[in-house]
Amino acid sequence: MTSVFPLALLLCLSSGLLTAYGQASCPPYWTQFGSRCFAFHIRTKTWSEAEIFCQIVGGNLASIHSDEEHTFIKNYINQVSGEQRTSWIGGTDTVKEGTWLWTDRSDFTYKSFNAGEPNNRGGAENCLLMNWGGANWNDLACNNQASFVCSKNL
């Protein structure tokens, strides 16, 4: 009598009903926090160049949604670079001054601006940096160069 077990197992695996080794994980050189992967890039780019780079690798400049996530990213940058390096994240108010949006289109509800920020100094600060001054956020002209953090969903 022929067993139907191998055929049933093959059907389950091919239809995605079984997962061989558990949950998805981040690609090499990315690190996981919650259901997202993050990659810090020390090589500096303008904000737009950094966003394009992040899109090419399948994500966006990082959005931040909680104190825990903010702390994780600050610690991650420090671990990789050895300092609280000023870095681009995915916030911008280019569309409408004072209305901040994330490039990944998630809700911009969490904020961690330094005191007196964002101030749009000179009428041209529309992109978001983290680790500015007191390790919080600052708006800056988008054509400045900075390291950056990409993120993507698992």
- Per residue in 35-63, pLDDT tens? 999 999 999 999 999 999 999 999 999 99
Q: Is residue 41 part of a domain?
A: yes
Q: Is residue 86 part of a domain?
A: yes
Q: Is residue 68 part of a domain?
A: yes
Give residue 132's domain range.
22-153
Q: Is residue 13 part of a domain?
A: no
Q: Is residue 1 part of a domain?
A: no
The CATH number linked to 89 is 3.10.100.10
Residue 21 pLDDT: 54
Residue 134 pLDDT: 64
Q: 3-state SS string over the chain?
A: CCCCHHHHHHHHHHHCCCCCCCCCCCCCCCEEECCEEEEEEEEEECHHHHHHHHHHCCCEECCCCCHHHHHHHHHHHHHHHCCCCCEEEEEECCCCCCCCEECCCCCCCCCCECCCCCCCHHHCCCEEEEEECCCEEEEECCCCCEEEEEEEEC
Q: Is residue 2 part of a domain?
A: no
Q: What is the pTM of this model?
A: 0.84
Residue 133 pLDDT: 80
Q: Is residue 28 part of a domain?
A: yes
Number of domain units in the chain: 1
Q: Is residue 27 part of a domain?
A: yes
Residue 53 pLDDT: 99
Mean pLDDT of 142-153: 98
